[in-house]
Structure 1
Amino acid sequence: MTDTLERLADEGVAPWLDDLSRERLAGGWLSRLVSQQGVVGITSNPTIFDRAIGSGPHYDAQIADLARRGVGVAEAARLMTAYDVRWACDILRGVHETSGGVDGRVSIEVDPRLAHDTGATLAEARGLWWLVDRPNLFVKIPATREGLGAISAALAEGISVNVTLIFSLDRYDQVIGAFLDGMEEAHTAGRDLSSIASVASFFVSRVDTETDNRLDKLGSSQAQALRGRAALANARLAYEHFERARAGDRWQALEAAGMRPQRPLWASTGVKDPSFDDTRYVAGLVAPDVVNTMPEATLRAVEDHGEITGDTVHSTYAESQQILDDLDVAGVSYHDVVTTLEDEGVRKFADSWSDLFRTLEKELRAAGTHGPSG
């Protein structure tokens, strides 16, 4: 592990990677990141898989077999992504065991087009949990209103869940409630709570992108002074909500029964604005018991020149709340920003899933089939 990532881990931050492809699996890339650089988890999404499957020959043999069997696009997507995630789970199994089941996790996402259908999301989560069949899997479920019930139900059945696409503090509170509901049901059913894990993926950089676009349109000096401050403030306040929930009676009772904490996971930590430091969403969100999942470019930047100076969250709560208040005064509605981002996030992930289907349909045709589109 590099010195910077080691300091990050010493502060309680688990460095995960937001990327996965069969080419890198086969070439030993992930194994090296785990053994040499201290990466202890992987997240994936439809965009990552679309990019991976659409480039290079590493999927050709499986696509040819699927084509010969007449497998449709939807099922082909499940089988191919599950194959990669299962492989990554096996690589990270040692981390999972040595960390006592805390890390060594790999995430696979339910079809985001189901994000507003509770029953279908739960059915897909069950199917993916069965298909990958690894104890260190996370099934990613979006934190939509309809997704909350699926999150509780999946956890109650013993399925470990990565709750994704969280932008607002109110929604995060609802996610924590859904987590506790599910764990209480699991406990009532006699399940081993220590075998069930969850993280809550709070998206970061997109908050600055959306907020700063609105501030730039306002153009005032007050607005310009707030550029680049919303995302860190929002995430830091989310950590305060995590601490508050963890100190509550429901959480404490479940922890006494063996429940693991649902850790906050900082997602979307790649910096979009080139005027910002490229490690700001890592160095600025250091606190105990969190995960930071980084694109490879961000991971390399942190290794190369990241400055980890200790906890950068606990002393910021009052300042962070003031930033959100000042945004409202300046004319940028926090509620509208986070609502827009949730709707846009679901739509973008669904579009990425459709792009993946189109890529696979093209590949299956080229392999000699005109299977159904799913």
Structure 2
Amino acid sequence: MTDNLAQLSDAGVSIWLDDVSRRRLTTGNLAGLVRDKHVVGVTSNPTIFAKALAEAADYDDQVRELAARGASLDAAVKEITTTDIRNACDLFRDVWQATNGVDGRVSIEVDPRLAHETDKTVAEALDLWKTVDRPNLLVKIPATEAGLPAITRTLAEGVSVNVTLIFSVERYRAVMEAFVAGLEQAKANGHDVSTLVSVASFFVSRVDTEVDKRLEAIGTDEALSLRGKAAVANARLAYAAFEEVFAGPRWAALAADGARPQRPLWASTGVKNPDYSPTLYVDELVVADTVNTMPEATLDAVAEHSQLRGDTVTGTSTEAQAVFDKLGEAGVDIADVFVVLENEGVEKFEKSWEELLESVSGQLKAATSAGS
């Protein structure tokens, strides 16, 4: 069952699970995935927490305790989510130590309602870092226009960052610039840059979902022949940009002080179109110095029937650019695709956060009524 996952790991792809919950932590499920399926990290987001809180009674004891001491809704949500993240950090501590801090990482996202507010994002990122109080934490900050300076300022304070909601190579280059500037400022502030780790979460499947919809609306044979190709091509172009930036002279100065490159992380790798192979966004994005964060269904699919064939990314940028040239010729407005995806991404996480607040609010009220 684990041969494919071992092969993927040996190719330099760090396997992270795109899910965390109290049930996974308390039942030993997550520990089992670390032991048996080469999982070396975890990512979370508002949608994951909203689902966990709505579906399980695992949080009831903590909710009752929070209700008994009159915790506010925002304080309760923060305490519930950071408890899971802190416990996950502890579970991955051995992996973190064994990989010299490269893996064993656990991510928690700032309140998505702050996605367009730089100062508040920085303040919350620093607060989450202090609250969780674990060296293997990554604080997730969205790659919005307001998020870019927040990335730099958070890193400058010595806080490791997972940059999320990246869709275009252009924005990814801005993220790498924000990362490098953040490390330069961290160094100037007296921080040891060798301890700072960052990943750039480049979203994959959502690109195909949006582009395929537009190709089907165009409806020509040429357009239809391009379905299912945009996402992989986009990610491959991102990796070429990663190679370029982290081979440059500006980076060399930081590397001399032990700084580590900001690895690309392939996010949203669960396939949305049932006509595509469930392992499409794994098999086609195998390359060293990357992370693939998968939902468990994708993890299982890779373990069972992935067709891995070594590095499928290095040297593919010309071919990938040709796909984008053809998309433009077919009538797809690529720039608009990325704007729509970023806006939708922020909106989806905001909606999930509201659902999380609503769920905890209901549970707090029920606990208060039961205790009165």
How far apart in 1 are the matches of 2:250 and 2:344? Answer: 33
Q: CA RMSD for the aligned pairs?
A: 1.1
1:13 equivalent in structure 2: 13
How far apart in 2 are the matches of 1:147 and 1:221? Answer: 40
How far apart in 2 are the matches of 1:73 and 1:235? Answer: 39
Once the 2 structures are TM-superposed, how far is the Cα of residue 191 of structure 1 from its aligned partner?
Answer: 1.0
Once the 2 structures are TM-superposed, how far is the Cα of residue 258 of structure 1 from its aligned partner?
Answer: 1.0
How far apart in 2 are the matches of 1:45 and 1:344? Answer: 15
2:31 equivalent in structure 1: 31
Secondary structure, in 3 states, of the residue corresponding to 2:39? coil
Cα shift readout 1:253-281 (whole Å, capped 9, x = no counterpart): 10111101100000000000000000010
Secondary structure, in 3 states, of the residue corresponding to 2:16? strand
How far apart in 2 are the matches of 1:110 and 1:48? Answer: 14
1:188 equivalent in structure 2: 188
Secondary structure, in 3 states, of the residue corresponding to 1:70? coil
How far apart in 2 are the matches of 1:234 and 1:180? Answer: 22
Worse overlay, 230-239 or 49-58: 49-58
Once the 2 structures are TM-superposed, how far is the Cα of residue 124 of structure 1 from its aligned partner?
Answer: 0.4
Once the 2 structures are TM-superposed, how far is the Cα of residue 345 of structure 1 from its aligned partner?
Answer: 0.5
2:272 equivalent in structure 1: 272
* Matched AA of 1:229: K
2:49 equivalent in structure 1: 49
* Matched AA of 2:309: T
Percent identity of the aligned residues?
A: 57
* Matched AA of 2:167: F
Once the 2 structures are TM-superposed, how far is the Cα of residue 315 of structure 1 from its aligned partner?
Answer: 2.7
Secondary structure, in 3 states, of the residue corresponding to 1:40? strand
How far apart in 1 are the matches of 2:287 and 2:238? Answer: 12
How far apart in 2 are the matches of 1:307 and 1:29? Answer: 26
Once the 2 structures are TM-superposed, how far is the Cα of residue 56 of structure 1 from its aligned partner?
Answer: 2.1
Once the 2 structures are TM-superposed, how far is the Cα of residue 17 of structure 1 from its aligned partner?
Answer: 0.3
How far apart in 2 are the matches of 1:286 and 1:252? Answer: 25
Once the 2 structures are TM-superposed, how far is the Cα of residue 249 of structure 1 from its aligned partner?
Answer: 1.0
1:200 equivalent in structure 2: 200
* Matched AA of 2:249: D
Once the 2 structures are TM-superposed, how far is the Cα of residue 35 of structure 1 from its aligned partner?
Answer: 1.4
Matched, 1:178 2:178: yes
Matched, 1:116 2:104: no
2:318 equivalent in structure 1: 318
Matched, 1:65 2:65: yes
Once the 2 structures are TM-superposed, how far is the Cα of residue 346 of structure 1 from its aligned partner?
Answer: 0.7
Which residues in structure 2 correspond to 1:64-103 (within 5 Å)? 64-103=64-103
Cα shift readout 1:119-141 (whole Å, capped 9, x = no counterpart): 00000001100110000000000
1:225 equivalent in structure 2: 225
How far apart in 1 are the matches of 2:30 and 2:56? Answer: 17
Which residues in structure 2 correspond to 1:196-345 (within 5 Å)? 196-345=196-345
Cα shift readout 1:80-125 (whole Å, capped 9, x = no counterpart): 0000000110000000000000000000000010000000000000
1:166 equivalent in structure 2: 166
Give the TM-score normalised by the residue count of structure 1.
0.98
Q: Which runs of 5+ in 2 are unaligned?
A: none
2:358 equivalent in structure 1: 358
Cα shift readout 1:185-242 (whole Å, capped 9, x = no counterpart): 0111221111111000000000000000011111110110000000000000000000
How far apart in 1 are the matches of 2:265 and 2:168? Answer: 14
* Matched AA of 1:252: A
* Matched AA of 1:309: R
* Matched AA of 1:90: D
Secondary structure, in 3 states, of the residue corresponding to 2:146? helix
How far apart in 2 are the matches of 1:207 and 1:180? Answer: 26
Structure 1 residue ranges (4+ consecutive) displaced by more than 6 angstroms after TM superposition = none
* Matched AA of 2:277: D
Secondary structure, in 3 states, of the residue corresponding to 2:139? strand
Secondary structure, in 3 states, of the residue corresponding to 1:62? helix
Secondary structure, in 3 states, of the residue corresponding to 2:270? coil
How far apart in 2 are the matches of 1:120 and 1:10? Answer: 40
* Matched AA of 1:354: E
Cα shift readout 1:145-203 (whole Å, capped 9, x = no counterpart): 10011100110111000000000111000000000000000111221111111000000
Secondary structure, in 3 states, of the residue corresponding to 1:315? coil
* Matched AA of 1:271: V
Cα shift readout 1:13-49 (whole Å, capped 9, x = no counterpart): 0000001110111000011111121100000011111
How far apart in 1 are the matches of 2:212 and 2:36? Answer: 37
* Matched AA of 1:245: V
Once the 2 structures are TM-superposed, how far is the Cα of residue 75 of structure 1 from its aligned partner?
Answer: 1.4
1:372 equivalent in structure 2: none
How far apart in 2 are the matches of 1:44 and 1:310? Answer: 28
